[in-house]
Amino acid sequence: MPIKDWNIDTTWSLFLDRDGVINERIFGGYITEPKAFKFIEGAEEGIALLSRAFHRVFVVTNQQGIGKGLMTERNLLEIHTYMSNQIHLTGGKIDKCYFAPNLKGAEDDLRKPNSGMAELAKLEFPEVDFERCVMVGDTDTDIEFGKKLGMKTVRVKTKEPIGIEADLTVDDLNSFAKLITHEI
């Protein structure tokens, strides 16, 4: 189905994975401080375009480095503050960053593909309608997260093996942003 048939308008919400979508992913490691956070080329500009197309923009990110004791929630908040400030400087916005600090398999597992982070967003922003949302990610867990909730899904190309097909695949976040601005 072509993206124009999704009927996206400015009442929709956008959910973005962080590592591999907004910033360069460290395979087998963790970003534990702002100076290690490197934006993927064009991501800031892409989020600026998407901020005008979507009512709400959220980041949903699994961060088990906290659960492993490799960083603290304060470290993560410093990283997200840096990221949000840089995005703001290019004219974009992040309404809220949600993160899952727990290890895989925890009793109250917020990690994607579970829906906990999206449910928190809906509690805080009741106008969010999951059927009027897009989830952009680079892994199967991101795509499964979106599909479970009835969202449209967009996969950013990655080195990861693909087991679940997204509704749309793009080279990067900026490519998706340009497609959105031309189609809606």
Is the pLDDT assigned to residue 183 strictly greater than 80? no
- The dihedral formed by the CA atoms of 84, 89, 95 and 98, expressed in degrees to the nearest 10: -10
Q: Which amino acid is at 67?
A: G
Question: For the segment 102-154, what is each residue's pLDDT rounded down to a tens digit?
Answer: 888 878 889 999 999 999 999 999 999 999 999 999 999 999 999 999 999 99
Report residue 23's pLDDT band, with 50, 70 and 90 as the boundaries.
very high
Structural domains for the chain: 3-183 (3.40.50.1000)
Band (pLDDT 50/70/90 cuts) for residue 28 is: confident
User: Cα separations (Å) of 25 from 67, 93, 108?
Assistant: 19, 21, 26
Establish whether the linkage from the previous residue to 126 is cis, with ω within 30° of 0: no
| Cα–Cα separations (whole angstroms), residue 39 to 6, 21, 104, 126, 180 | 28, 9, 26, 30, 21
The reported pLDDT for the residue numbered 163 is 94
**CA–CA separation, 137 vs 175, rounded Å?**
13
H/E stretch holding 155: strand 152-156
Query: Higher model confidence: residue 70 or residue 104?
Result: 70
